[in-house]
Amino acid sequence: ATLNSYNTLLKKKQVIAVGPTSNLSILLSASRPAGCSCSQSLVVDHIGISISPATMQTRSSPSLSTLHGLAKQAQLEKFEQLSKKELYARLKQQYDFERLKRAQKFSYKRKLEESHEGGASSSAPGSGCGSHDTAPFCTVKEPAMKKRRSGSINIVDPIMFTKVGKQKFVYVRPNGKAVQYNIASLVDYILCTGDFCEPETRIPFTDADLKKIDEAAIKYNLKKQSVLEARKNVAFYSELKFRRDAIFGLERCLAELAAGMLAAVEEADWELAELAQMRLVMQLLPGFADAWAQLRAADAPAARAALRHHREYLAGPPNRPARDPQGLQAVVQGFLDQLEQGIQPDFGF
Protein backbone atom coordinates (compact mmCIF):
# COMPACT_ATOMS: atom_id res chain seq x y z
CA ALA A 1 0.00 0.00 0.00
CA THR A 2 2.88 2.35 0.81
CA LEU A 3 4.50 1.73 -2.56
CA ASN A 4 1.19 2.26 -4.36
CA SER A 5 0.69 5.58 -2.56
CA TYR A 6 4.24 6.58 -3.41
CA ASN A 7 3.76 5.73 -7.08
CA THR A 8 0.52 7.74 -7.16
CA LEU A 9 2.24 10.77 -5.66
CA LEU A 10 5.18 10.35 -8.02
CA LYS A 11 2.85 10.57 -11.00
CA LYS A 12 1.36 13.77 -9.57
CA LYS A 13 4.93 15.19 -9.19
CA GLN A 14 4.39 15.76 -5.47
CA VAL A 15 7.49 13.87 -4.30
CA ILE A 16 10.38 16.20 -3.41
CA ALA A 17 12.88 13.91 -1.72
CA VAL A 18 13.53 10.23 -1.32
CA GLY A 19 15.50 9.03 1.67
CA PRO A 20 16.56 5.47 2.53
CA THR A 21 14.35 2.57 1.55
CA SER A 22 12.70 2.58 4.96
CA ASN A 23 12.12 6.34 5.02
CA LEU A 24 10.50 8.27 2.15
CA SER A 25 9.96 12.01 2.50
CA ILE A 26 6.93 13.10 0.51
CA LEU A 27 5.57 16.60 0.29
CA LEU A 28 1.81 16.87 0.04
CA SER A 29 0.19 20.13 -0.89
CA ALA A 30 -2.87 19.09 1.11
CA SER A 31 -0.85 18.40 4.25
CA ARG A 32 -0.10 22.06 5.01
CA PRO A 33 -2.34 23.21 7.88
CA ALA A 34 -4.03 26.57 7.64
CA GLY A 35 -1.92 29.39 9.02
CA CYS A 36 1.28 27.40 8.97
CA SER A 37 4.17 29.27 7.33
CA CYS A 38 6.40 26.24 6.99
CA SER A 39 5.92 23.28 4.76
CA GLN A 40 4.98 19.87 6.11
CA SER A 41 6.30 16.54 4.96
CA LEU A 42 4.98 13.03 5.25
CA VAL A 43 7.50 10.50 6.51
CA VAL A 44 6.55 7.10 5.15
CA ASP A 45 8.16 4.09 6.75
CA HIS A 46 7.36 0.45 7.30
CA ILE A 47 5.26 1.27 10.40
CA GLY A 48 2.93 3.95 9.13
CA ILE A 49 2.62 7.58 8.13
CA SER A 50 3.41 10.53 10.37
CA ILE A 51 3.60 14.25 9.73
CA SER A 52 6.77 16.13 10.72
CA PRO A 53 7.69 19.74 9.99
CA ALA A 54 10.43 20.27 7.40
CA THR A 55 13.19 22.66 8.43
CA MET A 56 14.10 25.15 5.72
CA GLN A 57 17.45 26.89 5.47
CA THR A 58 17.14 30.56 4.57
CA ARG A 59 19.51 33.45 3.97
CA SER A 60 17.70 35.78 6.39
CA SER A 61 20.49 35.52 8.97
CA PRO A 62 24.24 36.15 8.73
CA SER A 63 26.81 33.39 8.73
CA LEU A 64 27.96 31.87 12.00
CA SER A 65 31.39 33.51 11.75
CA THR A 66 29.73 36.91 11.32
CA LEU A 67 27.52 36.29 14.35
CA HIS A 68 30.56 35.31 16.41
CA GLY A 69 32.25 38.55 15.42
CA LEU A 70 29.19 40.55 16.46
CA ALA A 71 29.02 38.65 19.75
CA LYS A 72 32.63 39.54 20.46
CA GLN A 73 31.83 43.15 19.63
CA ALA A 74 28.93 43.04 22.12
CA GLN A 75 31.06 41.15 24.70
CA LEU A 76 28.48 38.39 24.97
CA GLU A 77 29.61 35.62 27.30
CA LYS A 78 29.73 31.95 26.28
CA PHE A 79 28.43 32.70 22.80
CA GLU A 80 30.40 29.77 21.35
CA GLN A 81 28.06 27.36 23.12
CA LEU A 82 24.96 28.76 21.45
CA SER A 83 23.57 27.54 18.17
CA LYS A 84 23.31 29.86 15.23
CA LYS A 85 19.57 30.32 15.69
CA GLU A 86 19.85 31.02 19.43
CA LEU A 87 22.78 33.39 18.99
CA TYR A 88 20.99 35.34 16.27
CA ALA A 89 17.84 35.63 18.39
CA ARG A 90 19.74 36.78 21.49
CA LEU A 91 21.68 39.42 19.58
CA LYS A 92 18.47 40.82 18.12
CA GLN A 93 16.63 40.79 21.44
CA GLN A 94 19.30 42.07 23.83
CA TYR A 95 21.26 44.41 21.55
CA ASP A 96 20.77 46.84 18.71
CA PHE A 97 21.67 44.45 15.91
CA GLU A 98 22.03 47.11 13.20
CA ARG A 99 24.25 49.17 15.46
CA LEU A 100 26.47 46.15 16.11
CA LYS A 101 26.87 45.65 12.37
CA ARG A 102 27.82 49.26 11.84
CA ALA A 103 30.34 49.11 14.68
CA GLN A 104 31.90 45.95 13.28
CA LYS A 105 32.11 47.49 9.83
CA PHE A 106 33.76 50.61 11.23
CA SER A 107 36.24 48.45 13.16
CA TYR A 108 37.21 46.62 9.96
CA LYS A 109 37.74 49.90 8.14
CA ARG A 110 39.86 51.33 10.92
CA LYS A 111 42.11 48.27 11.00
CA LEU A 112 42.60 48.44 7.25
CA GLU A 113 43.46 52.12 7.37
CA GLU A 114 46.01 51.46 10.08
CA SER A 115 47.68 48.58 8.22
CA HIS A 116 47.42 49.95 4.66
CA GLU A 117 47.85 53.63 4.10
CA GLY A 118 45.17 54.94 1.83
CA GLY A 119 43.04 51.79 2.10
CA ALA A 120 39.83 51.63 0.14
CA SER A 121 36.68 52.73 1.93
CA SER A 122 33.66 50.49 2.31
CA SER A 123 31.67 52.41 -0.27
CA ALA A 124 34.37 52.34 -2.95
CA PRO A 125 33.62 50.34 -6.11
CA GLY A 126 34.80 46.77 -5.85
CA SER A 127 35.11 46.93 -2.06
CA GLY A 128 32.32 44.41 -1.63
CA CYS A 129 29.94 46.75 0.28
CA GLY A 130 26.78 48.39 -0.86
CA SER A 131 23.61 49.73 0.70
CA HIS A 132 21.93 47.96 3.61
CA ASP A 133 19.07 46.97 1.34
CA THR A 134 21.19 45.10 -1.15
CA ALA A 135 24.10 43.90 1.01
CA PRO A 136 23.20 43.85 4.71
CA PHE A 137 26.27 41.82 5.67
CA CYS A 138 28.97 43.35 3.53
CA THR A 139 32.65 42.91 4.17
CA VAL A 140 35.55 45.17 3.35
CA LYS A 141 38.11 43.61 1.03
CA GLU A 142 41.72 44.32 1.71
CA PRO A 143 43.58 46.01 -1.13
CA ALA A 144 45.83 43.67 -3.07
CA MET A 145 49.42 43.79 -1.90
CA LYS A 146 51.96 44.43 -4.61
CA LYS A 147 54.65 41.83 -4.89
CA ARG A 148 58.01 43.23 -4.06
CA ARG A 149 60.61 42.65 -6.70
CA SER A 150 63.66 41.09 -5.22
CA GLY A 151 66.74 43.26 -5.57
CA SER A 152 69.15 40.36 -5.15
CA ILE A 153 71.50 39.41 -7.96
CA ASN A 154 73.20 36.11 -8.65
CA ILE A 155 76.66 35.46 -7.27
CA VAL A 156 77.27 32.27 -9.29
CA ASP A 157 78.20 32.45 -12.95
CA PRO A 158 75.38 30.77 -14.97
CA ILE A 159 77.85 29.35 -17.50
CA MET A 160 80.70 27.88 -15.43
CA PHE A 161 78.85 27.67 -12.08
CA THR A 162 81.72 29.39 -10.34
CA LYS A 163 81.65 32.46 -8.15
CA VAL A 164 81.34 35.70 -10.08
CA GLY A 165 84.57 37.63 -9.71
CA LYS A 166 85.44 41.27 -10.14
CA GLN A 167 85.75 40.92 -13.91
CA LYS A 168 82.06 40.66 -14.62
CA PHE A 169 79.37 41.84 -16.99
CA VAL A 170 75.87 42.71 -15.80
CA TYR A 171 73.07 42.10 -18.30
CA VAL A 172 69.63 43.62 -17.70
CA ARG A 173 66.83 41.62 -19.28
CA PRO A 174 63.77 43.26 -20.85
CA ASN A 175 61.71 42.53 -17.72
CA GLY A 176 64.18 44.47 -15.57
CA LYS A 177 65.88 41.45 -14.01
CA ALA A 178 69.66 41.84 -13.79
CA VAL A 179 72.07 38.91 -14.05
CA GLN A 180 75.84 38.99 -13.95
CA TYR A 181 78.41 36.81 -15.73
CA ASN A 182 82.13 36.40 -15.56
CA ILE A 183 83.11 38.37 -18.62
CA ALA A 184 85.72 35.81 -19.72
CA SER A 185 83.30 32.87 -19.66
CA LEU A 186 80.60 34.87 -21.46
CA VAL A 187 82.95 35.92 -24.27
CA ASP A 188 84.31 32.37 -24.65
CA TYR A 189 80.77 30.97 -24.74
CA ILE A 190 79.70 33.33 -27.52
CA LEU A 191 82.83 32.83 -29.63
CA CYS A 192 82.89 29.04 -29.27
CA THR A 193 79.22 28.36 -29.88
CA GLY A 194 78.37 31.18 -32.27
CA ASP A 195 75.19 31.60 -30.25
CA PHE A 196 74.64 35.32 -29.72
CA CYS A 197 71.92 34.88 -27.10
CA GLU A 198 71.87 35.11 -23.35
CA PRO A 199 72.69 31.58 -22.13
CA GLU A 200 69.89 31.32 -19.57
CA THR A 201 66.85 32.85 -21.27
CA ARG A 202 67.90 32.57 -24.95
CA ILE A 203 67.13 36.27 -25.39
CA PRO A 204 69.13 37.49 -28.42
CA PHE A 205 71.83 40.01 -27.63
CA THR A 206 71.45 43.28 -29.48
CA ASP A 207 74.38 45.03 -31.11
CA ALA A 208 74.38 47.46 -28.19
CA ASP A 209 74.67 44.54 -25.74
CA LEU A 210 77.55 43.01 -27.70
CA LYS A 211 79.29 46.38 -27.79
CA LYS A 212 79.03 46.61 -24.00
CA ILE A 213 80.52 43.11 -23.71
CA ASP A 214 83.44 44.17 -25.92
CA GLU A 215 83.97 47.28 -23.82
CA ALA A 216 84.00 45.20 -20.64
CA ALA A 217 86.53 42.78 -22.19
CA ILE A 218 88.78 45.69 -23.18
CA LYS A 219 88.41 47.22 -19.72
CA TYR A 220 89.66 44.05 -18.05
CA ASN A 221 92.36 43.52 -20.73
CA LEU A 222 91.15 40.05 -21.77
CA LYS A 223 92.66 40.30 -25.28
CA LYS A 224 89.84 38.33 -26.89
CA GLN A 225 88.16 38.63 -30.26
CA SER A 226 85.34 41.13 -30.54
CA VAL A 227 81.95 39.46 -30.21
CA LEU A 228 80.34 42.24 -32.22
CA GLU A 229 82.70 41.63 -35.14
CA ALA A 230 82.26 37.87 -34.76
CA ARG A 231 78.53 38.26 -35.27
CA LYS A 232 79.19 39.71 -38.70
CA ASN A 233 81.15 36.60 -39.75
CA VAL A 234 78.06 34.72 -40.86
CA ALA A 235 79.84 32.24 -43.15
CA PHE A 236 82.19 31.02 -40.42
CA TYR A 237 79.46 30.33 -37.90
CA SER A 238 77.21 28.75 -40.52
CA GLU A 239 80.00 26.29 -41.30
CA LEU A 240 80.53 25.74 -37.58
CA LYS A 241 76.84 24.94 -37.09
CA PHE A 242 76.84 22.52 -40.03
CA ARG A 243 79.92 20.77 -38.66
CA ARG A 244 78.39 20.46 -35.21
CA ASP A 245 75.14 19.05 -36.58
CA ALA A 246 77.07 16.54 -38.69
CA ILE A 247 79.00 15.31 -35.66
CA PHE A 248 75.78 14.91 -33.69
CA GLY A 249 74.31 12.92 -36.57
CA LEU A 250 77.30 10.57 -36.71
CA GLU A 251 77.08 10.00 -32.96
CA ARG A 252 73.42 9.05 -33.29
CA CYS A 253 74.25 6.62 -36.10
CA LEU A 254 76.91 4.97 -33.92
CA ALA A 255 74.42 4.65 -31.06
CA GLU A 256 71.85 2.96 -33.30
CA LEU A 257 74.43 0.51 -34.68
CA ALA A 258 75.71 -0.27 -31.17
CA ALA A 259 72.16 -1.11 -30.07
CA GLY A 260 71.86 -3.54 -32.98
CA MET A 261 75.21 -5.12 -32.08
CA LEU A 262 74.09 -5.67 -28.50
CA ALA A 263 70.85 -7.30 -29.67
CA ALA A 264 72.86 -9.68 -31.85
CA VAL A 265 75.23 -10.53 -28.99
CA GLU A 266 72.40 -11.29 -26.57
CA GLU A 267 70.38 -13.39 -29.03
CA ALA A 268 69.81 -16.76 -27.31
CA ASP A 269 67.71 -18.52 -29.95
CA TRP A 270 70.00 -20.86 -31.91
CA GLU A 271 67.83 -20.63 -34.99
CA LEU A 272 68.06 -16.84 -35.00
CA ALA A 273 71.69 -16.76 -33.90
CA GLU A 274 72.94 -17.49 -37.40
CA LEU A 275 70.89 -14.62 -38.82
CA ALA A 276 72.18 -12.35 -36.06
CA GLN A 277 75.78 -13.25 -36.87
CA MET A 278 75.23 -12.57 -40.56
CA ARG A 279 73.68 -9.19 -39.78
CA LEU A 280 76.55 -8.44 -37.44
CA VAL A 281 79.22 -9.18 -40.07
CA MET A 282 77.48 -7.79 -43.16
CA GLN A 283 75.73 -4.70 -41.77
CA LEU A 284 76.45 -3.64 -38.21
CA LEU A 285 80.24 -3.90 -37.93
CA PRO A 286 81.03 -2.37 -41.36
CA GLY A 287 78.52 0.42 -40.77
CA PHE A 288 79.98 1.16 -37.36
CA ALA A 289 83.52 1.23 -38.75
CA ASP A 290 82.54 3.64 -41.54
CA ALA A 291 80.64 6.05 -39.27
CA TRP A 292 83.42 6.01 -36.68
CA ALA A 293 86.04 6.77 -39.34
CA GLN A 294 84.04 9.81 -40.46
CA LEU A 295 83.68 10.99 -36.87
CA ARG A 296 87.40 10.56 -36.22
CA ALA A 297 88.22 12.61 -39.31
CA ALA A 298 85.91 15.40 -38.15
CA ASP A 299 86.65 15.34 -34.41
CA ALA A 300 89.18 12.81 -33.10
CA PRO A 301 88.56 13.45 -29.35
CA ALA A 302 84.82 13.03 -29.83
CA ALA A 303 85.42 9.78 -31.76
CA ARG A 304 87.59 8.33 -28.98
CA ALA A 305 85.03 9.30 -26.33
CA ALA A 306 82.23 7.70 -28.35
CA LEU A 307 84.23 4.48 -28.76
CA ARG A 308 84.84 4.21 -25.00
CA HIS A 309 81.18 4.83 -24.30
CA HIS A 310 79.94 2.15 -26.70
CA ARG A 311 82.52 -0.36 -25.45
CA GLU A 312 81.12 -0.01 -21.92
CA TYR A 313 77.56 -0.10 -23.22
CA LEU A 314 78.11 -3.40 -25.06
CA ALA A 315 79.87 -5.02 -22.09
CA GLY A 316 77.19 -3.94 -19.62
CA PRO A 317 77.64 -2.87 -15.99
CA PRO A 318 79.96 -4.95 -13.77
CA ASN A 319 77.14 -6.12 -11.51
CA ARG A 320 75.00 -7.21 -14.46
CA PRO A 321 77.03 -7.82 -17.62
CA ALA A 322 75.38 -8.33 -20.98
CA ARG A 323 74.27 -11.87 -21.85
CA ASP A 324 76.56 -13.71 -24.25
CA PRO A 325 75.01 -17.10 -25.11
CA GLN A 326 76.78 -17.38 -28.49
CA GLY A 327 80.21 -16.09 -27.43
CA LEU A 328 79.99 -13.01 -29.67
CA GLN A 329 80.99 -10.51 -26.99
CA ALA A 330 84.68 -11.23 -27.51
CA VAL A 331 84.26 -10.77 -31.27
CA VAL A 332 82.67 -7.35 -30.86
CA GLN A 333 85.20 -6.17 -28.25
CA GLY A 334 88.07 -7.31 -30.49
CA PHE A 335 86.56 -5.33 -33.35
CA LEU A 336 86.45 -2.19 -31.18
CA ASP A 337 90.07 -2.74 -30.12
CA GLN A 338 91.14 -2.80 -33.77
CA LEU A 339 89.31 0.47 -34.40
CA GLU A 340 90.95 2.14 -31.43
CA GLN A 341 94.44 0.97 -32.46
CA GLY A 342 93.93 2.14 -36.03
CA ILE A 343 94.17 -1.38 -37.47
CA GLN A 344 92.09 -2.25 -40.49
CA PRO A 345 89.30 -4.30 -38.89
CA ASP A 346 88.61 -7.81 -40.07
CA PHE A 347 85.21 -7.60 -38.34
CA GLY A 348 86.32 -10.07 -35.70
CA PHE A 349 86.47 -13.13 -37.92
Give the tens place of pLDDT for each residue, 165-204.
Answer: 999 999 999 999 999 999 999 999 999 999 999 999 999 9
| pLDDT at res. 270 | 73
| pLDDT at res. 286 | 92
Q: How many CA atoms lie within 13 Å of 280's alpha carbon, on the beta-carbon side?
A: 26
> Cα dist. 259→263, 264, 309 in Å?
6, 9, 12
Residue 83's CB is within 10 A of a number of other CB atoms, namely 9
Query: What angle do the packed helices 234-265 and 300-315 form, to 10 degrees?
Result: 20
Q: How many CA atoms lie within 13 Å of 246's alpha carbon, on the beta-carbon side?
A: 14
| pLDDT at res. 284 | 93
Could you give phi then psi for residue 244, rounded to 5 degrees?
-65, -40
3-state secondary structure labels for all residues of 24-53:
EEECCHHHCCCCCCCCEEEEECCCCEEEEE
Give the global pTM: 0.47
| pLDDT at res. 75 | 77
Nearest C-alpha neighbor of 267 from the set 332, 347, 312, 317: 332
CA R_g for the chain: 42
| pLDDT at res. 59 | 57
| pLDDT at res. 14 | 44
| pLDDT at res. 31 | 41
Tens-level pLDDT at each residue, the chain (349 residues): 444 554 554 454 444 444 443 343 333 333 444 444 444 333 333 333 333 444 444 556 788 888 888 887 787 877 877 888 888 888 877 777 788 788 877 777 777 777 665 444 444 444 444 444 434 444 444 444 444 445 588 999 999 999 999 999 999 999 999 999 999 999 999 999 999 999 999 999 999 999 999 999 999 999 999 999 999 998 999 998 999 999 999 999 999 999 999 998 888 777 777 888 888 888 999 999 999 999 999 999 999 999 999 999 999 999 999 999 888 899 899 999 999 888 877 664 4
The Cα 177–Cα 186 span in angstroms is: 18
